[in-house]
Chain A
């Protein structure tokens, strides 16, 4: 995934926690082999190589992720779109509408110039899979992050307190934090306009005379709390997708939102 993942696990002996952590990191590596556009043996890379209209079998996990992406895509009015050109550039159209899934569990592109790009959701998805195996192993106190931008708290710290964290101001890296919060049974993701070029941002910059390049970098923080009784298993992916959507569509310098 070309980014660093780290896990903080508490509440057990070091040998057991390491074993659980290794299994979680293995799941993250498997997530990369599912979602990477660049690894030749990755499922998404394979799908992207196929010509339009050719239906390709994909794992249920990828279909479920696509379904979740469609939901965020719809709720964000298209601001989040896990598609791109073959070169990885943003499509000048609603790309997700050109990705079809059939009853056999296969995916096909309706146009030749569309490919899948889960860069805006992949880290959250990988954290979800890691959390699955940690939960199976009985780990109740864990903080996981991918690239320091997507974080998942599987329960509080071992002392019962939530995990503290802060978001730096990208325009003043050494200045005060732009946002400070606490996490417990929650996924959180941060995106900024400096890293997520978007049609919406370009259009806004052109339309209202406000230069995206010359103005403040927009930062979006999306939080997705776990349900009261259990994880749904896609909180990380949703937080990641929503932060991407918010920064693409947002109008504020700093936007913090609890997302469904």
Chain B
């Protein structure tokens, strides 16, 4: 269903306004867009034995999510930092714990590893996990250098040839609502994308406290410009991946501005960043990221000739222009007023909900986007299928993130070369 084009869609829905009027009388579920993310088939009792490498914030979040993924069983956790490992142990008290990577990867019965180390350590972690014959989920962005990112993607592609499942943690691709918006773009819902904006606001120092200076340096890797892509790379990468994958856009170059406006605590990395990225073929992306203001949190706006999509993790809305083409499903959609405009609520499983007459109860996802990404990985491993986001898929946005970080660091415009994400 992911490649549903406009012609197919109109044929399925009867096309045009006359058909729409009839369908409105019948309240036919056929008028709704197809469900975008069928859950992967998996044997009822099948369980995937998983290890989580890295139990900092992202690793602990992964443990929380995996605990409610039906086919997942966390059997081992590893972190070289004992304090971080305690947090992991609390979340997976029945799992074996390790402070060294090799014995962790050799844990008896381990089938898959979720890699949540700092970004600059992804490459050795992925390489080692693949060498142990494991399925791998690697957090995103893939790496902090194009060389490392390409190496991860190539090694993962090679391993996939041998039946290994390799996934990357750009969660939008497994997010049922974001998949739904992608189909909206593909079926002409916005006619043409003009401008897309990544908004990532949070109020946090991004610091971690540690009992000793050595651990403090390791835990605060995100604030070290020598090893981190900073806000531009670590955060904007997720928005860029969504936009590249969902709308098909590719920036020609990225211009960056980074400033340290609030957290003057000895750091040198910007706490506030703006990015501008003109697209090949017209249109632009922009990104606005800060650690000093939390308004709006994390969201993406895609503005097109036909309307605007606002996607906020577990919710998404379409604000249509009054003269935009009607697709049909809008008749049944719940509506909400936001900032003076009426938005159509996008649902992930509209057909099923319509059949149950629960369309209005289905607003918002039942799990976090992170959960859907991990559930997709687990399902892919058990079914032997390709996951929603492979490391090869994640390569373009990683390249863009690296360019964005460079643009901010140098205060310059950095060209994007699509050859950087072509594997040989």
Q: Which A residues lie at the B interface, using CB under 8 A? A: 15-20, 22-23, 26, 30, 33-34, 40-41, 43, 46, 49, 56-61, 64, 105, 132-133, 136-139, 233
With a CB–CB cut-off of 8 A, which chain B residues contact A137?
A: 83, 209-211
With A30-B64, A46-B68 as known contacts, state yes or no: A41 contacts B207, CB within 8 Å: no
Q: Is B91 an interface residue (CB 8 A)?
A: yes
Q: Which residues of A contact B64 (CB under 8 A)?
A: 30, 34, 59
Pair A59/B91 contact, Cβ less than 8 Å? yes
A41 near B91 (CB under 8 angstroms)? no
The interface stretch among B182-190, B336-344, B361-369 is: B361-369
Q: List 14 A-B contacts (CB under 8 A).
A: A15-B207, A16-B209, A18-B205, A19-B205, A22-B205, A40-B314, A40-B363, A41-B367, A43-B68, A60-B94, A61-B67, A61-B90, A137-B210, A137-B211
Main SS at interface, chain B:
loop
Asked whether A23 lies within 8 Å of B209 as measured between CB atoms, the reply is yes
B interface residue count range (under 10 / 10 to 19 / 20 to 34 / 35 or more)? 20 to 34
Given A16-B209, A18-B205, A40-B314; A57-B69 close (CB under 8 Å):
yes
Given contact pairs A18-B207, A19-B207, A137-B210, A58 touches B265 in the complex (Cβ within 8 A): no
Query: What's the Cα separation between A24 and B68 when bound, in Å?
Result: 23
Contact: B93 with A41, CB < 8 Å?
A: no
Interface flag for B113 (CB, 8 Å): no
Provided the pairs A60-B67, A60-B94 are in contact, do residues A40 and B87 lie with their beta carbons within 8 angstroms? no
- Taking A22-B205, A40-B363, A137-B209 as given, write out 17 further A-B residue pairs in contact, using a Cβ cutoff of 8 Å, ordered by the A residue number: A15-B207, A19-B205, A40-B366, A41-B365, A46-B366, A57-B67, A57-B69, A57-B70, A59-B64, A60-B92, A60-B94, A61-B91, A64-B93, A136-B83, A136-B87, A138-B209, A138-B211
Most buried by A among B57, B363, B366: B366
Contact A132 B87 (CB under 8 A): yes
- Do A57 and B68 touch (CB < 8 A)? yes
- On whether A41 and B209 interact (CB within 8 A), knowing A57-B68, A58-B68, A137-B83, the answer reads no
From A20, A30, A136, contact of B86 by CB (8 A): A136
B266 within 8 A of partner (CB) = yes
Instruction: Give the residue name and chain of the A residue nearest to B367 (CB).
Output: A41
Q: Which of B57, B67, B205, B364 contacts A59 (CB 8 A)?
A: B67
A233 and B91 alpha carbons, distance in the complex (Å): 13
How far apart are the CA atoms of A60 and B90 in the complex, in Å? 8
Chain B residues within an 8 Å CB radius of A139? 209
Interface string of B207-229 (1 = CB under 8 A from A): 11111000000000000000000
Return the CB mask of B80-106 against A: 1 if under 8 Å, else 0.
000100110011111000000000000
Asked if B268 is an interface residue, CB under 8 A from chain A, the answer is no
| Residue in chain A with minimal CB distance to B263 | A15
Asked if B2 is at the interface of the complex by the 8 Å CB criterion, the answer is no
Q: Which residues of B contact A (CB under 8 A)?
A: 57, 61, 64, 67-70, 83, 86-87, 90-94, 204-205, 207-211, 265-266, 314, 363-368, 371
In whole angstroms, what is the CA distance A30 to B63 when docked? 12
* Bound CA span A138–B314, Å: 35
Is the CB–CB distance between B57 and A26 below 8 Å?
A: yes
**Chain A CB within 10 Å, residue with most, of B83, B204, B209, B365:** B209
A236 nearest CB across to chain B (Å): 15
Are B68 and A59 closer than 8 Å at their CB atoms? yes
Cβ of A20 and Cβ of B91 under 8 Å apart?
no
- Give chain B residues whose Cβ lies under 8 Å from the Cβ of A34: 64
Q: List chain A residues, Cβ under 8 A from B368.
A: 33, 41
Residues of A close to B207: CB separation below 8 A: 15-16, 18-19, 22
In angstroms, how far is the closest chain A Cβ from the Cβ of B350?
16
Chain B residues contacting A16 (CB-CB under 8 Å) are: 207, 209
Quick one: which of B90, B94, B205, B365 contacts A15, CB cutoff 8 A? B205
Partner of A40 from B70, B91, B364 at Cβ < 8 Å: B364
Report the separation of the CA atoms of residues A26 and B207 in the bound assembly, to the nearest whole angstrom.
Answer: 13
Chain A residues with Cβ below 8 Å from B314 are: 40-41
Shortest Cβ distance from residue A231 to the other chain B in the assembled complex, whole angstroms: 12
Q: How far is the CB of A142 from chain B (nearest CB, A)?
A: 12
Residues of B near A132 (CB, < 8 A) are 86-87, 90
Known: A41-B366, A59-B91, A136-B86. A15 touches B265 (CB 8 A): yes
Query: Which of B67, B92, B366, B367 has the most chain A CB atoms closer than 10 A to its own CB?
Result: B67
Contact B209 A20 (CB under 8 A): yes
Q: Which residue of B lies closest to A25 (CB)?
A: B204
B residues in contact with A15, CB < 8 Å: 205, 207, 265-266
Output the nearest chain A residue to B363 by Cβ-Cβ distance.
Answer: A40
Provide the residues of chain B in CB contact with A105, threshold 8 Å: 67
Which residues on the A side are within 8 Å of B204 (C-beta)? 22
> What residue in chain B is nearest A135 (Cβ atoms)?
B86
Expressed in whole angstroms, the minimum distance between the Cβ of A10 and any Cβ of chain B is: 14
Q: Which residues of the partner chain A approach B364 to less than 8 Å between Cβ atoms?
A: 40-41
Closest A-B pairs by Cβ, 4 of them: A59-B67, A19-B207, A138-B211, A137-B209
The residues of A that contact B83 with a CB separation of less than 8 Å are 136-137
Residue of A with least CB distance to B63:
A59
What distance in Å separates the Cβ of A100 from its nearest Cβ neighbour in chain B? 17
**A residues within 8 A CB of B86?**
132, 136
Most-contacted residue by chain A among B57, B69, B93, B208 (CB, 10 A)? B208
Partner of B367, one of A19, A30, A46: A46
Least CB distance from B205 to A in Å reads: 6
With a CB–CB cut-off of 8 A, which chain B residues contact A57?
67-70
A residues in contact with B67, CB < 8 Å: 57-61, 105
Residues of B within 8 A of A61 (CB): 67, 90-91
**A19 vs B68: C-alpha distance in the bound complex, in angstroms?**
29
Which of A19, A33, A61 gathers most chain B CB within 10 Å? A19
Given the complex of chains A and B, what is the CA–CA distance between A49 and B92 in angstroms?
25
Residues of B within 8 A of A18 (CB): 205, 207
Q: Which residues of B contact A59 (CB under 8 A)?
A: 64, 67-68, 91
CA distance A6 to B87 in the complex (A): 22
